[in-house]
Amino acid sequence: MTLIRTVEISRQLAAYIEATATREDDVWRRLREETSKLSAGGMQIGADQARLLGWLVRLIGARRALEIGTFTGASALSVASALPADGSMVCCDVSEAWTSIARRYWAEAGVADKIDLRLGPALDTLAALQMQGDRFDFAFIDADKEPIQSYVEAALSLVRGGGLIAVDNTLWGGAVADPSRRDPDTAAIDAFNRRITDDPRVDAVQLTVGDGITLLRVRTDDSGGGSG
């Protein structure tokens, strides 16, 4: 097997990328700084990934977005800011404490009216959205990892044909390539990675941004993805 030529992201190179390829407004920067002080602060997405999410939303002209796993709201802030003035998004999370931080910054950034935060088990929220016949243009999945395939299946039923689903942490710190790592989270992500490439319902590409992000374009000719 021929190995793909890659560039190792050193601290110096990461700092360069952040300086040249990302732009943080004051609200997003302060949210990131506050989140970094939390014990779980490492779950926060980086500035490069936030910029990518906003870019994707604008690229496809998304008007409705879905997020599974919100934490302190940095990714939702990026997505909501990229939506048009009449756009909207549904955010799923279980933590009142973490999302209370998110609400403060969403309000300050002027996007709170676009965001419908639903607290509770995400699969329950997603089932309710399915029952209501809701449709979305874009979805971001960044929640607990063991049920990753269930989240993707739900998103596939909710995102329109031609829409995008972004799945975070698909490299899992490199653990997916380590055969000695078979804990439930790593095993679930690895199974997803191996399965999704051949899934006829989507066009899939994995990027090495952040901890790995896999993009799924829902094919328009599949009934599971809806009509375009």
Residue 148 is part of a domain; what is its CATH number?
3.40.50.150
Amino acid residing at 80: A
Task: Kindly state whether residue 2 falls inside one of the protein's structural domains.
Answer: no
Could you list the residue range(s) of the whole structural domain that residue 27 is in? 11-225
pLDDT digit of tens for each residue in the chain (228 aa)? 556 667 778 889 888 887 887 777 899 889 999 999 999 988 888 888 999 999 999 999 999 999 999 999 999 999 999 999 999 999 999 999 999 999 999 999 999 999 999 999 999 999 999 999 999 999 999 999 999 999 999 999 999 999 999 999 999 999 999 999 989 999 999 999 999 999 999 999 999 998 999 999 999 864 444 333
Record the tokens describing residue 110, joined without a space: 């002027």
**CA-wise closest residue to 153 among 218, 80, 212, 73:** 218
> Does residue 99 contact residue 72 with C-beta atoms inside 8 Å?
yes
What is the pLDDT, as a whole number, of residue 226?
39
Task: Kindly state whether residue 165 falls inside one of the protein's structural domains.
Answer: yes
**CA-wise closest residue to 66 among 145, 166, 153, 210:** 166
- Domain count within the chain: 1
Record the tokens describing residue 213, joined without a space: 């992000």
d(CA 89, CA 19): 29
Total-model pTM: 0.91
> Does residue 143 contact residue 122 with C-beta atoms inside 8 Å?
yes
Beta bridge partners of 209: none
